[in-house]
Structure 1
Amino acid sequence: MILLIDMPEVPMKTILEKLGYVEIQCLRKNCHSLRNFIDYFKPEQSIDVMEISGTAGNISLLIYRNDDSQLYPNGQKIHVEYQALDGENTEITWFRKNKYPKKTILHENFSEVLSRDFGLILKCKLPILRRFSIDFKYTSKQFLKKHLLNKSPIKTNTLIIKTNTLITQRQDDILSFLPYICADTLKKLEIEFVDLSGTLMNISKIVEQEHWKRAKELHIHGVSVMAGIQNFEHFSYLVVKFDLLYLKDVLFLKELFFHTPSTFKQYRISFGKLSDRDAFIRELGHPITEQRQTLIFERPDDKENVVTIGFFPKFFEFKIIKKCIAPREVEVN
């Protein structure tokens, strides 16, 4: 009988490329020779979503392929939770289809156990992730630094950051994390601040980062931002809130939508209050009421598309749409 480790390198690689993440990790535990070969070869994995979230004493790690919603073994979706126990002990729960096996790790902090498992995932040859989501509310960032320092940044199309840190730490929190993410592959940036509604955040340093400049889609939830409107003009899709919205900023966006070469652009600009409500009414020609109002404008040198500006009690919505689907009851300006 030929042992797996005695096989030539080519068939060994072929076998490993057919295996999922769980099977690969089982093989790593089989013997040192297999582990060394796997760590050297780094077989490709189809994982393209990674999510880290949790509470003060419980961290959840999910890895899966975006189109695979079935938990292992029915699918390749892996969901593991790390629960802190008394005495620096950790309970691990692996959520599988129809059963939830548990294991207790003695004398090791749950964050350290998560850190080790996260490191094993990063040792795999991963594709560009569709989405990488991390919850900073309770998750220690030390494991990121431990496993990503001096290594290639994580490549992802979408980055989701959730946090509820103090107002003085928010920007630094995000800035300390961005170096571990590849700016070249980033298309969508989503930042969610939990339990901080109604507060202001200075993002003057974040807007200078390559991640900000290269992303085409931005969502910021839970806070009002402090930054010039010009810092947002390169986004194709934008959801953001300002505490005080100025008429000059709305007019800037109006001109931007008139003249941008792109025909896909949509902004939702929320606000706490308007700088001069009467000036807005005079400029727009409509009262700002509880009812939705929509203005439609022709785009210069564009016969197929128009700009719509919808204004609501607490936000403006800018869109470029096909002229043929514009509301017929609204006059085109």
Structure 2
Amino acid sequence: MVSLIDMPEVPMKKILEKLEYVEIQCLRKTCHSLRHFIDDTQPEQPITVLEISCSLDKFSLLIYGKNDPQLYPSGQRIHIEYQELEGENTRITWLRRDKNRQKTLLNDNIFNTFSHDFGLILKCKLPTLKQFSINFKQMRKGFLEKSIFKKKEEPIKVHSLILKNATCQGDILEVLPYTCAETLEKLEITLDIDWKSPWITKMDISKIVVLEQWKKTKELHIVGGPVAAGIQNFEHFSFVNVKFELVNLRDMLRLKELFLHTPSTFKQYRINFQNLSDRDAFIQEFGPPIERTATYFEVRRATLIFERPDDKENVVTIGFFPNFFEFRIIKKCDVPNDVEVVN
């Protein structure tokens, strides 16, 4: 029987294509020849989701393979925690379904250990990730960019990027520029704010809106607090959920025109706000806001519906609520018979 070490290159590559991430890493550690072969051939790692989170003295890394939610070895979800110890030491715990594995690294601090391990993952040949999630809560400023992402030669290919507890524009800029603009479809940002006063601080995103990743993303969710940016920076998105401290009538009329004339038939915006520039002018244009306590039928009757020029199949709906505007494009056949459509 031929051993793995003596296996010809082509069948060896076929074997690696069938293996999961943990199996490839275990095989890589068996001997120098297999390690060199794996490093040279760079087999694609079957990883779909990566998640990073942090606490005062701990990093947590989650790796999902093939959409399997079960912890290894029952499934392909790998959960590793890095615990900071006294004296520049680090404890690594591999949380498993059968029994956790643990080891302590002496004279190797948590930042070096984590950045080395995560850097190895990014050096692998990865498919386009379904999701990449980073929680900035208690994360050291600049750590991810300087220690990990700047060292990666190619951008990270991902469909959905989730950035949680961002405190400033700088947090987002640590990650977003290092993703592939061609594959990114959805950007979710949760701002770390004081929920007792969620409108006190608005985040400047002037350096974010000029990035290619921003310009090519189709779907945007920014929750938690308001942002500071012109409405024109959001017009290319298919779906938007964002907050502003102040909304003026000119911008909402601009969005109305955008929805009336865009060639796209899938577009939905939710524009949250704290204040209106001129409440009376808004009421004159859109009617009184739809109350929160309104029934479904009351909302339906109060929502404005407009014909789209040169489009007989779709219409634009605009809902004016006490704290947000909702713009949508829907099928004309879905409009109730008792609701007026404005030409």
- Is TM more than 0.5 here? yes
Contact 1:112–1:143 under 8 Å retained in 2: no
Tell me which residue corresponds to 1:301: 310
Distance 1:96 1:237, change over 3 A: same
Q: Deviations over 1:263-304 (max 9, x none)?
A: 000000000111111111111133554445421111112111
| One-letter amino acid of the structure 2 residue matched with residue 146 of structure 1 | S
Structure 2 equivalent of residue 153 of structure 1? 155
**8 Å contact from structure 1 (residues 308, 319) kept in 2:** yes
Aligned-pair CA distance for 1:143: 4.7
Paired residue for 1:326?
335
Can you give the 5+ residue segments of structure 2 that lack an aligned partner in the other structure? none
- Name which of structure 1's ranges 231-240 and 189-198 shifts more when overlaid on structure 2: 189-198
Aligned-residue Cα RMSD (Å) equals: 1.8
2:244 paired residue among 235, 242, 254: 242
Q: Does 1:174 align with 2:172?
A: yes
Shift of 1:160: 1.4
SS at match of 2:209: helix
Of 237-246 and 196-205, more deviation after overlay is shown by 196-205
**SS of the residue 2:118 aligns to:** helix
- Quote the Cα distance in structure 2 between the aligned partners of 1:287 and 1:31: 70
Task: Give the ranges of 4+ consecutive aligned residues of structure 1 lying more than 4 Å apart after TM superposition.
Answer: none
Question: Post-superposition shift, 1:91?
Answer: 2.0
Shift of 1:142: 2.9
Between the aligned partners of 1:143 and 1:283, the Cα distance in structure 2 is 47
Instruction: Kindly provide the amino acid, as one letter, of the partner of residue 316 in structure 1.
Output: F
- The aligned counterpart of 1:142 is 143
Deviation at 1:86, TM superposition (A): 2.3
In structure 1, the partner of 2:10 is 10
Distance in 2 (alpha carbons) for counterparts of 1:144 and 1:22: 26
Identify the residue that residue 89 of structure 1 maps to in structure 2: 89
**1:98 CA displacement:** 4.0
CA distance, structure 1, for counterparts of residue 261 and residue 79 of structure 2: 47
Paired positions, count: 329
Unaligned runs of 5+ residues in structure 1 are none
Local SS of the residue matching 1:6: coil
Displacement of 1:316 in angstroms is 0.9
Of the structure 1 ranges 155-164 and 13-22, higher mean CA displacement relative to structure 2 is found in 155-164
Equivalent-residue separation in structure 2 for 1:246 and 1:209 (angstroms): 26
Kindly provide the amino acid, as one letter, of the partner of residue 281 in structure 2. A
Taking structure 1 as reference, are residues 286 and 330 closer, same or farther at Cα in structure 2, changes over 3 Å only? farther
Alignment of 1:202-221 (within 5 A): 202-221=204-223
User: Once structures 1 and 2 are overlaid, which stretch shifts more, 323-332 or 52-61?
Assistant: 323-332
Write the letter of the residue equivalent to 1:32: H
1:144 shift after superposition:
4.4
In 2, the alpha carbon distance for the partners of 1:94 and 1:176 equals 27
% same residue: 64
Instruction: Report the CA distance between 1:70 and its aligned residue.
Output: 1.8
> Paired residue for 1:275?
277
What is the alpha-carbon distance in structure 2 between the residues aligned to residue 64 and residue 172 of structure 1? 28
191, 194, 199: which one aligns with 2:192:
194
SS of match in other structure, 2:74: coil
- The code of the aligned residue for 2:314 comes to N
Going from structure 1 to structure 2, the CA distance change for 1:112 and 1:150 (only over 3 Å counts) comes to closer
- Summarize the Cα distance change of 1:38–1:320 in structure 2 as closer, same or farther, 3 Å threshold: same
Instruction: Report the CA distance between 1:12 and its aligned residue.
Output: 1.3
CA contact (8 A) 1:72 1:78 kept: yes
Paired with 1:216 and 1:144, the residues of 2 have a C-alpha distance of 24
State the Cα distance separating 1:33 from its structure 2 match.
1.3
Decide whether aligned partners of structure 1 residues 46 and 242 sit closer, same or farther in structure 2, where only a CA change above 3 A counts: same
> SS in structure 2 opposite 1:139?
coil
- Seen in structure 2, the aligned counterparts of structure 1 residues 238 and 283 have a Cα distance that, compared at 3 Å, is same
